[in-house]
A and B are shown apart, each in its own frame.
Chain A
């Protein structure tokens, strides 16, 4: 098929890879009400991009490092005086602002900041694709490995303790997978829309799910479907790719909610 030029195939594979990694993680973010945490981590990733470019490191490493440092800083700083979202707000916008300023200092290379803010999925290389799929497998593997413990500490920390599970450790695993996923997704949908890729498919899956596994699988299906449909849309009517993907998953959210409303009547 001539439509599926090489870059299109790569774009679709990249989108699907990120969507699959984002689905189970996004479900946990929805269940644990960590939406703002996901948002903050993805905004902070711009600082990671700036540092990587300045130090000539891989963007993936830079973003993972900054995301982790931010998550740990939030945990260490959290006190009674500050609700969690205040700290997240302070740190994420500081990181975003410092990142944007830092990028402006980097001379020599002309950096298209738009690509990191909104993603550049059509420019995904074979090497990017390898990183995305390896990262996605690592995220899925980690979550699958800790699935039960994660579910239990999500249901209740007290319950987890009673079952000899440390909820703090499970939280750390989610933080780590979140950092990896943000680093994978920055090329696909960009720093500003990563959280959408995590939350919207999971939220869309919720009204039509009866078990946690079902919700993760449906979220993966909706996410992958949105990636493919969004890219087609972008190709056909020449819209920006990352936002198009998010638009399609937003429409899925509306559809599943209408469906469950209709079922309840």
Chain B
């Protein structure tokens, strides 16, 4: 059954519309990856899902048991606030010490419990954020470029951890990522966003396209290709915008 459903959702900041007519259904246990150029509304879509921005039109239908765990893009924790990792986790929702320990274990960082948050590396910090998201025992996990600051090995490890969490808890996962080559293997579905949903499909369908391999094949080449944003893969038939225009902007 679906956990959350978006119907013709539009979000505007002032006069500029960031998302227009986005429709999307997320089911229990599936891993969904969102790709798209900078400023394509990926983070705004997440904000709409967690309810921190109001849609200018459209609906969001949430399952009554929906529990969202959110790993934000970059948390600006000033180093001026002294706090240990364990306390940082416990402060949310009066978590018991034992469940914090478990969450740290699930995220693979039980040894960091007593460290100061300001002393963590970027990669360690994202793991802490994952542990923090897991504390709510979510059935929907949102990851906003969660592997920023991790090296390739670290990213792969991180996504394996995510897959493990999904297998253990059957939660749905939506992630925003630029590292398509890494997340593709774990995703059930990929959505291409550029203000609206340009296209979506299983990674098999998307990756079966030979052009796709040229675009997203390896390392930074793949990322650059993403910004050029060609559209030779599967497509919504009612998608009306002119894709050549996007290609020219970049």
A residues in contact (CB < 8 Å) with B? 30-33, 148, 151-152, 154-156, 158-159, 161-163, 206, 209-212, 214-215
Flag if B76 contacts A211 (CB, 8 Å): no
The segment out of B86-94, B157-165, B166-174 that lies at the interface is: B86-94
Contact of B91 (CB < 8 Å), options: A148, A209, A210: A148
Flag if B50 contacts A162 (CB, 8 Å): yes
Bound-complex Cα distance A151 to B88 (A): 10
Flag if A33 contacts B78 (CB, 8 Å): yes
Closest to B73 in A: A158
15 CB < 8 A contacts A-B: A31-B78, A31-B80, A31-B81, A152-B91, A155-B77, A155-B81, A155-B83, A156-B72, A158-B50, A158-B75, A159-B72, A163-B92, A206-B80, A211-B87, A212-B82
Interface residue count on the B side (C-beta < 8 Å): 23
Residues of B150-196 whose CB lies within 8 A of A: none
Closest to B142 in A: A162
Contacts of B136 in A (CB 8 A): 162
Bound-complex Cα distance A209 to B91 (A): 17
Contact of B72 (CB < 8 Å), options: A154, A158, A163, A209: A158
B residues in contact (CB < 8 Å) with A? 50-52, 68, 70, 72, 75-78, 80-84, 87-88, 91-93, 116, 132, 136
Contact of A211 (CB < 8 Å), options: B77, B78, B82: B82
- How distant is B42 from chain A, measured CB to nearest CB, in Å? 14
Bound-complex Cα distance A62 to B81 (A): 33
Bound-complex Cα distance A155 to B75 (A): 8
Closest to B69 in A: A162
Flag if A158 contacts B81 (CB, 8 Å): no
**CB-based closest 7 A-B pairs:** A161-B52, A31-B81, A158-B72, A209-B82, A156-B75, A162-B70, A31-B80
Contacts of A161 in B (CB 8 A): 50-52
Dominant secondary structure at the A interface: helix
Bound-complex Cα distance A154 to B91 (A): 12
Contact of A159 (CB < 8 Å), options: B75, B81, B83, B84: B75
Flag if A30 contacts B80 (CB, 8 Å): yes
Taking A152-B91, A161-B51 as known contacts, 11 extra A-B pairs with beta carbons closer than 8 A to each other, sorted by chain A number, are A30-B80, A31-B78, A33-B80, A151-B81, A152-B92, A155-B91, A161-B52, A209-B82, A210-B84, A211-B84, A214-B82
Flag if A158 contacts B70 (CB, 8 Å): yes
Bound-complex Cα distance A215 to B116 (A): 14
- How distant is A77 from chain B, measured CB to nearest CB, in Å? 16
Contacts of B83 in A (CB 8 A): 155, 211-212
Bound-complex Cα distance A155 to B230 (A): 39
Contact A210 to B82, CB < 8 A, known contacts A155-B88, A156-B72, A161-B50: yes
- How distant is B97 from chain A, measured CB to nearest CB, in Å? 15
Closest to B132 in A: A159
Bound-complex Cα distance A155 to B77 (A): 5
Contacts of A32 in B (CB 8 A): 78
Bound-complex Cα distance A162 to B93 (A): 11
Contact A158 to B92, CB < 8 A, known contacts A31-B80, A206-B80: no
Contact of A163 (CB < 8 Å), options: B78, B82, B93, B116: B93
Contact A206 to B70, CB < 8 A, known contacts A155-B75, A156-B77, A158-B52: no
Bound-complex Cα distance A163 to B52 (A): 11
Contacts of B50 in A (CB 8 A): 158, 161-162
Flag if A159 contacts B52 (CB, 8 Å): no
Contacts of B78 in A (CB 8 A): 31-33
Bound-complex Cα distance A32 to B81 (A): 9
Bound-complex Cα distance A211 to B83 (A): 5
Contacts of B92 in A (CB 8 A): 152, 159, 163
Bound-complex Cα distance A19 to B123 (A): 39
Flag if A162 contacts B68 (CB, 8 Å): yes
Bound-complex Cα distance A155 to B89 (A): 11
Contact of A206 (CB < 8 Å), options: B77, B82, B93: B82
Contact A156 to B76, CB < 8 A, known contacts A162-B68, A162-B70: yes
| Max chain A Cβ within 10 angstroms of own Cβ: one of B50, B80, B82, B92 | B82
